[in-house]
Structure 1
């Protein structure tokens, strides 16, 4: 007599280590991506006007407009002084909450993010130092009300060159957190959020790789034996060696974890 292959959502959530539960899986021709990234808020910099204290060699290839042209292959570069800055005059005042700066090279070792209502009086909202280059700085700020200008004020250059910024993005709301990726997905399936239990199709084959190998071992133990459901892992040799090392600690009458269920 065949036993049911139904697992409760709570039990499966513990196996998958997925922070959002429950989930449901239905048979499909191929597995779909486990999650999609939520839409990002508008980048206010794209409609702003960029100006700077200087431009490297006064060359059109390095003008301030490149920091908000939406093209990461272009860049603004300054002349070779520590106190250079680049700023954005927003199309309209906004409650700025986040600034993201993409440094392709010639980064700042130390700099600050400043805001202004009128472009004359500036308030320092954040100060940063870093020994990494290239990099992307994602900075949360609280301007305390609508501002019309946002500035990167340099304090110390990375080297004898000036500063270089590929993109200078400004947001008036937090960026969305990426949806969690499921480390273990029954195949073949499509994945969607839903209510109730997690049901494995009769012909499902669960594959566990990398960090999900332990979860695969657990599923191999808890999924009832049946001829049309299998559990496999690409790290089987590693699991065997771990099973041998733990053999003396297994409860009497139990089989090694990771044993294939058929």
Structure 2
């Protein structure tokens, strides 16, 4: 696959900020984001929103970071180091979501720095990662600031009430997501298990863009959503037009799924490490 260009040694690479939770098992969350950023030649900036207690079998609990610390992390890196793009992952509560939205706007980043919102609501095991009361804050406060939203099908159902089972319901879901305010909405088809393919659908309010790949048959897909959103943010930092950024992210996650490995007694992780042996 074509990968993003690396910055020559000694020169500052592009910077992308992840605003998300920490995964103690290292498969998803900030750890997955930083792995993709590093292997795409991006310098990672981090605002930790929560610390999770989890492994390959599931999430045992989490602790939210105080909102002033969340805001402080974003401001510290944005005002000194600079941010070319950002993504969000686990935001845990309405208070944290409101803080992220307020800080993003106050710093003048809204509309100037691409923001990919991965609306993390639950882990792949079904363990909650977002308080139910926070879902409204997510869609009302953060979606209107988003360049791109990237929910999986379970998250689409929670947000829109639409159960995506085929191409028609996927289009209806994309329209419903876009109506909540993001510039672009991506409805991922990775959980559409009835299909031998993994069809993703992008919508900008006028046109649909379709992305397809053969489904990779692996149980080890922990961190797939984080990794795709991180790759899209990295491509946006490089100046890719949004449809091209999604195409790149789709290729990237397909290769990461192909390289996925077992870990612990449950679901293993997708692997961006394939680039270390690429070409």
Do both proteins adopt the same fold according to a TM-score greater than 0.5, normalized to the shorter chain? no
Q: Which has the higher strand share?
A: 1
Per residue, is there more helix in 1 or in 2? 2
Q: Where on the TM-score scale, by shorter chain, does this alignment land: which range? A: under 0.3
Q: Which has the higher contact order (CA 8 A, sep 6+)?
A: 1
Q: TM-score, normalised to structure 2's length?
A: 0.23
Larger Rg, first or second structure (1 or 2): 1
TM-score, structure 1 normalization: 0.24
